[in-house]
Structure 1
Amino acid sequence: MKVTKFGGSSLANGQQLQRVYDIIRADDDRKVVVVSAPGKRFKDDRKVTDLLLSYAQATLADEDTTEIIETIKHRYHSIGEFFELPDYELADLDEQIEHLARKHYRSFDYLYAAFAAHGEYLNAQLIAKIFNHLGMPARFVDPKEIGLLVNDNARSATFDTASYTTIGELDLSTSERLIVPGFFGYTRSGDMATFSRGGSDITGAIMARGLRADLYENFTDVSAIYAVNPSIVEHPAAIQQMTYDEMRELSYAGFAVFHDEAIIPAIQGGIRINIKNTNDPDAPGTFIVPPTEVQQTRPVTGIANSNRFAALYLHRYLLNKQVGFTLRILEILKRHNISYEHMPSGIDDLTIIFDKTMLTQEQVDNMLSDIAAEIKPDTLKWIPSYGIIMVVGEGMRNRVGALTEIVAPLKERNISLQMVNQGASEISIMLGIQPDLSDSAVEAIYTNIFK
């Protein structure tokens, strides 16, 4: 049995959904289909989720929502019309869209979560209707029906692993395709709460593990995961297979094809993942598998970069001799509800790297003020924009000269590094770099290793 997930670009319009229907019909093992909200149909289009968030903002501001409601309805109606689905089949979707603004929510965050989740929630209902209309038995499965529980973090929820028991009880014995909306679950209070953006991947992985699937297929708009971002290097090498840990490292650092948190349920359940292209379903795609199944041909599997980071540099003499020094800093971060990403250090200094998308300016100002007052460093510097490059590969484990192959081409291009850190697993090397040099450094490293 396969769990098959489709992203927003695969469901953006009727033509794309026809391809999805053909893919599902072609393989009876594709029993469970996890769907995203309709994505962009063209470059300057808007995703349905973004339309719903605009609807939420207008509702909170008590503005006229007539136009935005009609725009959202039209997106679903245009897909239904492509398949000649009768209008009465869409009446309940229209009512649900209008009802969103009339419901009571226990906080603004839960209002936003509910509006955003309805992109997937409505689309899964529509797709089930269309599949039945086309002659393929299908049933919409509300995450509430299978007890897909999450914690009370409305817009960045964490899955409750106790839910695997109820998910595993889902009946797969019929010929029906089960259509499950991605991206959200329910709190124990019955409120919708969403995973972080792109969280439909997480739902797909949860379903695959809960149902003990043989394979989790993740259909997107590329035929493989590439060793480097194609916008940096033309025609980069395709990755045929990679390990769970490699994918997680690369996703974290900028590979947007697959959500980094979605790897965890797959790892825990030993579920193989296949990234495939909706527009080229016969292409083999990329397999993400346990390390024992991968045969390494290169030391490096992939190179990813992201400029979404910021850093705090702190210098104080004899820092390494002060018991509890780092603990005091961590207590300040906890006080201001700040998590950090990495903390490389020396004998007299340390750097704390943050995901700046998770910070407010107020948090930063308060954190710096408290560190200056309580820690009294000799130097305290905030770096608001910080680039990170991750060079990842199981083949680097115990490989002599791996770092030289990565750093040497940067020296030739006169690119300096602000930080170098190798993980204990030895499969990744992290480079800190000025954001404006990040792409050039990635291209240099790729050229040296892959060409």
Structure 2
Amino acid sequence: MKVAKFGGSSLANGAQIQKVIDIIKSDSNRRIVVVSAPGKRKDTDTKVTDLLIKYCNTVSQGEDITGIQNKIIKRYQAIAGHFGLPDTALEPIVEGITKLATQVFPSRAYQMAAFKAAGENNNAKLIAAIFNHQQIPAEYLDPKTIGLTVTDVPDDAQILPSSYEKLAQTLTQRTKVAVVPGFFGYNTSGEVCTFSRGGSDVTGAILARAVAATEYENFTDVDAIYAANPNIVPNPKKITNLTFREMRELSYAGFSVFHDEALIPAIEGKIPVVVKNTNHPSLPGTLISEHKKINHDDVVAGIASDSGFTGIYIRKYLMNKQVGFTLKLLEILAKLNISYEHMPSGIDDLTIIIRSNQLTPELETQIRAEIESEIHPDDFQIQHNYTMVMIVGEGIQDRVGTMAAATASIAQAGVSIVMVNHGASPVSITFGIRTADADAAVQGLYDTFIAHQPIEIFAEKTF
């Protein structure tokens, strides 16, 4: 049994959905289909999820909802009209969208979760109706019906482990294609709670693990995962195979195909994941699996970068002799509800890298005051505009010269390194780069490790 998830671009209009129909018909093993909300039909278009957020805000502000309500309904009507569905097929969708405006919720957060989830939920109803109209026996299954129960966090839910047994029972014995909305589940009180970013990917991974799928196919609008961001590196190489560890590292470091938490259920269940293009489904795509054959002459699988980091730099003489020094510093951040990403250190120096979006000017002032008071540093700076650039690949640790080649590549690109983190992960090396220089660093690393161009910087200069 395969689980196939289709993203918003694959379901944006009737023409795209016809491709989905052809994909499902081409393989009888595709028994569970997870759907996103309809995405953009063109660059100037608006995603249905964004329309639903506006709808929720309009309701909360007590403004006229007629315009935004009709705009959402028309998106589904346009898709139904493409396939000539009868009006009766749209009735539950129109009713569901309309009723949202008068529904009572425990809080504003639950209200927003329910509105956002309506995009996927109504699309699943519509796709099931279209499948049946196209001679694919199918049934819409609400997450509550199949037992997808989650933690009580409206906008960042996690599946309850006890759900897997119920999901397996309800999904493995069905004879029709199951069409399940992605992005949300229900808490034990019956309220809608959404997953975080990449929510439909999470649902697909959960269901794949629950039914022990032979494969989790994630259909999107790219032919494969690329070795670098195409917006930085022109025509980057396609990756044929990644390990779960590599994908996790690359996702964390800025790869946009998956959010870094999205595949965890599939990883836990050791379910192979294949990223494929709805527009070119015959192409092999990228296989993500637990293991792969390592080519020690070509160890770097991908290069990623992610901006928006801040460094908290502290110098304190004999810091290495002070028992509990780092603990005291982390306790200050924990008290202010700030998490950290990296913490490279020396005998007298330490830099804590955090996500910049956690800071406000007021909070930055508070951090400064707390550290000055508790730590008494000899030097203290808060440095903004860092980007983390990461090379990722199984076998990096075992290949002699990887670090030397990486630093030389960045130097050849005319970029200075402000931080290095190597050793915490056996499959990655992270470089802190000033954001203005990040793209040049990515290109330099790509040229060396993926394009295998020679490093020339040391031909005329010695140290």
State TM-score, norm by structure 2. Answer: 0.94
AA of the residue aligned to 1:52? L
> Which position in structure 2 is the counterpart of 1:191?
191
> Which position in structure 1 is the counterpart of 2:211?
211
Shift of 1:424: 3.3
Deviations 1:232-272 (A, max 9, x none): 11111111101000001001111111222122212211110
> Which position in structure 1 is the counterpart of 2:352?
352
2: CA distance, partners of 1:64 / 1:73:
16
Deviates more, 1:211-220 or 1:415-424: 415-424
Shift of 1:102: 1.3
1: CA distance, partners of 2:171 / 2:226:
37
2: CA distance, partners of 1:407 / 1:235:
24
> Which position in structure 2 is the counterpart of 1:63?
63
1: CA distance, partners of 2:324 / 2:303:
36
2: CA distance, partners of 1:125 / 1:363:
46
| 2:433 corresponds to 1:416 | no
2:310·2:354 contact (CA, 8 Å) conserved in 1?
Answer: yes
> Which position in structure 2 is the counterpart of 1:145?
145
2:294·2:394 contact (CA, 8 Å) conserved in 1?
Answer: no
Structure 1: segments with no counterpart, 5+ residues: none
Deviates more, 1:212-221 or 1:416-425: 416-425
AA of the residue aligned to 1:99? K
> Which position in structure 2 is the counterpart of 1:20?
20
Q: Please state whether the residue corresponding to 1:233 is helix, strand or coil.
A: coil
> Which position in structure 2 is the counterpart of 1:402?
402
Shift of 1:292: 4.8
Q: 5 Å matches for 1:351-390?
A: 351-358=351-358, 362-390=362-390
Deviations 1:196-223 (A, max 9, x none): 1221111111100011000000000011
Deviations 1:309-329 (A, max 9, x none): 222222222222221122222
Percent identity, aligned pairs only, is 51
Shift of 1:358: 4.9
AA of the residue aligned to 1:434? R
1: CA distance, partners of 2:35 / 2:112:
20
> Which position in structure 2 is the counterpart of 1:5?
5
Give the alignment's Cα RMSD to 1 decimal.
Answer: 1.7
Relative to structure 1, is the Cα distance of residues 372 and 64 closer, same or farther in structure 2, using a 3 angstrom cutoff?
farther
1: CA distance, partners of 2:207 / 2:171:
13
Q: Please state whether the residue corresponding to 2:417 is helix, strand or coil.
A: coil
2: CA distance, partners of 1:314 / 1:395:
33
Deviations 1:286-340 (A, max 9, x none): 0001125566661100000011322222222222222112222222222222222
Relative to structure 1, is the Cα distance of residues 106 and 380 closer, same or farther in structure 2, using a 3 angstrom cutoff?
farther
> Which position in structure 1 is the counterpart of 2:112?
112
Q: Please state whether the residue corresponding to 1:396 is helix, strand or coil.
A: coil
| 2:128 corresponds to 1:134 | no
AA of the residue aligned to 1:116? K
Relative to structure 1, is the Cα distance of residues 138 and 158 closer, same or farther in structure 2, using a 3 angstrom cutoff?
same
1:298·1:395 contact (CA, 8 Å) conserved in 2?
Answer: no
2: CA distance, partners of 1:19 / 1:151:
35
> Which position in structure 2 is the counterpart of 1:167?
167
Deviations 1:75-134 (A, max 9, x none): 111111111111222122112112112112222221111111111111111111111122
Relative to structure 1, is the Cα distance of residues 213 and 62 closer, same or farther in structure 2, using a 3 angstrom cutoff?
same
Shift of 1:60: 1.8
> Which position in structure 1 is the counterpart of 2:102?
102
Q: Please state whether the residue corresponding to 1:430 is helix, strand or coil.
A: strand
2:56·2:115 contact (CA, 8 Å) conserved in 1?
Answer: yes
> Which position in structure 2 is the counterpart of 1:46?
46
> Which position in structure 2 is the counterpart of 1:232?
232
> Which position in structure 2 is the counterpart of 1:274?
274
Q: 5 Å matches for 1:299-314?
A: 299-314=299-314
1:5·1:33 contact (CA, 8 Å) conserved in 2?
Answer: yes
2: CA distance, partners of 1:122 / 1:368:
49
1: CA distance, partners of 2:401 / 2:422:
13
2: CA distance, partners of 1:321 / 1:197:
42
Deviates more, 1:314-323 or 1:138-147: 314-323
AA of the residue aligned to 1:160? L
AA of the residue aligned to 1:104? V
Structure 2: segments with no counterpart, 5+ residues: 452-463
Relative to structure 1, is the Cα distance of residues 205 and 363 closer, same or farther in structure 2, using a 3 angstrom cutoff?
farther
AA of the residue aligned to 2:84? E
Q: 5 Å matches for 1:242-261?
A: 242-261=242-261
| 2:392 corresponds to 1:392 | yes
Q: Please state whether the residue corresponding to 1:43 is helix, strand or coil.
A: coil
Relative to structure 1, is the Cα distance of residues 107 and 368 closer, same or farther in structure 2, using a 3 angstrom cutoff?
farther
1: CA distance, partners of 2:149 / 2:284:
34
1:397·1:425 contact (CA, 8 Å) conserved in 2?
Answer: no
1: CA distance, partners of 2:317 / 2:16:
61
2:146·2:171 contact (CA, 8 Å) conserved in 1?
Answer: no
Shift of 1:174: 3.9
Shift of 1:365: 4.3
Relative to structure 1, is the Cα distance of residues 139 and 423 closer, same or farther in structure 2, using a 3 angstrom cutoff?
farther
AA of the residue aligned to 2:142? D
State TM-score, norm by structure 1. Answer: 0.96
> Which position in structure 1 is the counterpart of 2:325?
325
Relative to structure 1, is the Cα distance of residues 195 and 294 closer, same or farther in structure 2, using a 3 angstrom cutoff?
farther
Relative to structure 1, is the Cα distance of residues 333 and 432 closer, same or farther in structure 2, using a 3 angstrom cutoff?
same
2: CA distance, partners of 1:231 / 1:350:
33
Deviates more, 1:427-436 or 1:92-101: 92-101
Q: Please state whether the residue corresponding to 1:394 is helix, strand or coil.
A: coil
2:308·2:357 contact (CA, 8 Å) conserved in 1?
Answer: yes
